[in-house]
């Protein structure tokens, strides 16, 4: 799948920081059943790669790795079954490594300069990060003006009470949501949150 296809698969991408060992396949099944098949597992914890392996086996789940900082992490994530890669920023070595890997890639940007560097590397889909700290909706509206064909996934400060406002922007294909799962959450509660998020379509 291309990064554009992945971004259009669901309005909200759960951004998951996984700590205690749990049934990750069951968590992925819960999200898929609720209408959020695209899952970003951040490489911030020691169990992230194992969780990606287990989630990637779930039918319908589109599992990716977030917080990818370098080529080594990229290779490990792809080997674990990640279908897409998300990084907090944009560097040429990482962008080229992602291209070589064949996995879909979503680099983080916060400025016009970041976007122009991405365009030079043949990229036109970006994570706007950290979205709220970088000026929020008004900043992305101003940024997207000169870059008409560029599309974004804002992440960082996107919440249930403002997600619909982000998604109403033409330049936004989806948002990253950190509110959908916390360690120890009851899966029924996760399902409820996910169903509410999946209904936030354009």
Query: For residues 129 and 164, is the Cβ–Cβ distance under 8 A?
Result: no
**Residue 165 known to be catalytic:** no
Question: Residue 159 and residue 138: Cα distance in Å, rounded?
Answer: 16
The C-alpha atoms of residue 97 and residue 85 are separated, in whole angstroms, by 11
* 158 C-beta neighbours (distance < 10 Å), count: 28
CA 73 – CA 57 distance, rounded (Å): 20
Active site residue 127: yes
Round to whole Å and give the CA distance between 119 and 111.
13
Catalytic residue among 29, 83, 127, 132: 127
d(CA 57, CA 52): 9
Q: Which is the catalytic residue, given 29, 40, 83, 132?
A: 40
Q: Enter the tokens of residue 28.
A: 């992925």
- 62 DSSP β-pair partners: 38
Helix, strand and coil content of the chain, in percent to the nearest 5, comes to 40, 20, 40
Give me the active site residues, please: 40, 127
């Amino acid at each position: 799948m291309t990064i554009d296809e992945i971004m259009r698969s669901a309005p909200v991408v759960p951004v998951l920081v996984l700590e205690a060992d749990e049934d990750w396949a069951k968590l992925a099944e819960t999200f898929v059943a609720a209408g959020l098949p695209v899952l970003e597992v951040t490489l911030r914890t020691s169990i992230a790669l194992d969780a990606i392996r287990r989630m990637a086996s779930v039918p319908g789940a589109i599992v990716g790795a977030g917080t990818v900082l370098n080529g080594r992490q990229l290779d490990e994530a792809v080997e674990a079954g990640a279908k897409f890669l998300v990084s907090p920023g944009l560097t040429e070595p990482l962008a080229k490594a992602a291209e070589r890997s064949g996995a879909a890639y979503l680099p983080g940007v916060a400025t016009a300069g970041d976007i122009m560097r991405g365009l030079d590397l043949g990229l036109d889909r970006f994570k706007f990060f950290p979205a709220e700290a970088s000026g929020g909706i008004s900043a992305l509206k101003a940024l997207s003006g000169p870059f008409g064909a560029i599309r974004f996934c804002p992440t960082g400060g996107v919440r249930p009470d403002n997600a619909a406002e982000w998604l109403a922007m033409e330049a936004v294909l989806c948002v990253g949501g950190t509110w959908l799962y916390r360690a120890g959450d009851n899966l029924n509660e996760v399902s409820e949150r996910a169903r509410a998020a999946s209904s936030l379509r354009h």
